[in-house]
Amino acid sequence: MVTKDFDTHTNKFLHLNNKNVTFRKLGFQLLFGGYIKDSSLIYHNIPQEKENKHLHRFIIYLSLAIQVLLSHISKPLSILGHFLEAVLNPFKVTSVIHRGNVDKKSASYFSFLGHLDSRTELDRKIEHGDGRYYPALTMMASKLAYENQNVIKSVVSDHWKMEFMGFYDFYNEFQEIMATQAFIFQERGPENDTIIVSFRGTSPFVAHDWSTDFDISWCKFKGVGKAHMGFMTALGLKKYRNNDHPAGDYDGYWPNEVEQDPKFPLAYYTIREMLREIIKKNKKARFIVTGHSLGAALAILFPAILAMHDEGKLLDRLEGVYTYGQPRVGDEKFGKFVMKKLREHDIKYYRIVYANDVVPAVPFDNSFMMFKHFGIGIHFNSLYCGKVGKDLILSWPSTYCQFKFLVVVLEQIIHIVEEEIATLKRKQEARNVLEKWLWVLRDIAGFIANFILARLNAVFEVIRGFIIPYTAGRDFKEGWLLIVFRLTGILLPGAANHGPQDYVNATRLASKDLFLHYTSLMSDQKDTMS
């Protein structure tokens, strides 16, 4: 039974309608449309008196503009990805040519990310009892999730000597496509068997995945808080099909039990049923959920929905949640709900961020969005030195800061211009306006400083790639593809730092005590949001 403190049906939501949207339509609406409550660009059920507070049009337009841009480059981006993989793979799959085409389902066919970081073996120096063991294992699983089923099965079974339990392609009811992937494997142990669920993240040449990251659509659950709509639908949020409901098909809910169509399985319900069966048969089995990027968002949302469904038995068997480059998934209230449930069931939550990674900076955390990271994070710099604590991202030269400063500056400029027109007639009010402009200049200076520092850091990372094999070992040698990829970081440091290779390095080169220290802080922490 679902607890009475909250509801699994969305009572408020905002859904961005990016279908048939053009730059021309966005520009016309921005210049002449005012607030967009009556626009076809969004669907929502927020009371009209709250429009001015909640429907801040700048952030909506920014999100829609990014999605329109991604839709325009979707095909070229996909073609580029196929071309690069075709160039990179023939030397490995000459024996599996079929009808003139490379077999993309072969155990020898690796994705672009698989070539970017070709490591498939676990670090033999990191053993059970080492605080880095499960972070290193789950990050390798998160990286492996980008590969096809046969590659995953081969690596898990032949290289890791663990039990491969299945690869799955899941349906998204709102997008009406098979858009979510995950695989499950098992590590046998003398005391406990550990089941690991790994969600696939944002594929670099799939514009749809990036669009999901930058989409600011949200849904709100009574007693739980506001959650990211795109991530929820990817996990298996059901459409609410009440034709009399003003929201129509854009509303969603999480029924406790569903009858699934085998052809269109939903991620949450399928994985939950598998875990139910496993723990029923194996009394010593525990499980971990993990993911990188979009997969990280799904990993932390999975126990959140388990909590909404009062799945106490499953939550008691959940050992930990390991996320890498995770975007924000909900507001402060949602974060408090999740952290409360994690503490109640003694579940460890490791949220790991590397350097200037842009994805943890989205969705934006301005007054409109109010999305927050929760819990205590681990942030690694470009020397792979990790720090544990709250708001660490803000203290490092990061693309996060650039996005935050840019959004804050633009909002303040708009606000100040409006105030200036009405207040310049009075000296005191004019003085207040001047003071606010000084704050804007401060933010601009911060933006410029972080812009420069992030690119200097990218140059250092290129140099580091030639040095690290001599300081850390041959397993850390970087190939020509990764070197070229790092060079793109000089222009786009946030995107280059999002690759899984640095997260693999960070979990392997971290201090042995870092994750143990993190665990002790987790047990003592209060609700923290950043």
Q: How many CB atoms lie within 10 A of CB 209?
A: 20
Instruction: Extract the tokens encoding 464.
Output: 């580091």
Do 498 and 293 form a contact (C-beta atoms < 8 A)? Answer: yes
- At 4, the pLDDT band (50, 70, 90 cuts) reads very low
pLDDT of amino acid 52: 45
**b/e map 448-471, b = 16+ CB within 10 Å:** eebbebbbebbeebbebbeebeee
- At 30, the pLDDT band (50, 70, 90 cuts) reads low
- Note whether residue 486 is domain-resident: no
Across the chain, how many H-helices and E-strands are there? Answer: 19, 14
- Note whether residue 322 is domain-resident: yes
pLDDT of amino acid 520: 66
- What's the mean pLDDT in 64-75? 84
pLDDT digits (tens, 9 = 90+) for 381-436: 999 999 887 655 443 334 444 445 555 555 566 566 556 655 555 555 555 666 66
- Note whether residue 240 is domain-resident: yes
pLDDT of amino acid 363: 81
The CATH number that applies at residue 116 is 3.40.50.1820
pLDDT of amino acid 21: 66
- At 243, the pLDDT band (50, 70, 90 cuts) reads low
Q: How many CB atoms lie within 10 A of CB 55?
A: 18
User: What gap in Å lies between CA 351 and CA 248, rounded to an integer?
Assistant: 36
pLDDT digits (tens, 9 = 90+) for 272-299: 999 999 999 998 999 999 999 999 999 9
Average pLDDT of the residues of the chain: 81
pLDDT of amino acid 523: 63
User: What gap in Å lies between CA 484 and CA 241, rounded to an integer?
Assistant: 48
**Residue among 326, 419, 406 nearest 366 (CA):** 406
User: What residues contact residue 317 under an 8 Å CB cut-off, 6+ apart?
Assistant: 275, 279, 285, 286, 287
- At 506, the pLDDT band (50, 70, 90 cuts) reads very high
- Note whether residue 381 is domain-resident: yes
pLDDT at 55 over 90: no
pLDDT of amino acid 393: 46
Q: Which helix (H) or strand (E) holds 279?
A: helix 267-281
pLDDT of amino acid 398: 44
pLDDT at 231 over 90: yes
Q: What is the DSSP letter of 121?
A: S
pTM here is 0.84
- Note whether residue 37 is domain-resident: yes
Do 388 and 521 form a contact (C-beta atoms < 8 A)? Answer: yes
How many domains does the chain contain in total? 1
Percentage with pLDDT > 70 across the chain = 71
- Note whether residue 261 is domain-resident: yes
The CA–CA distances, whole Å, from 350 to 221, 516, 520, 522 equal: 25, 11, 12, 9
Range(s) of the domain holding residue 196: 10-72+110-395+503-524
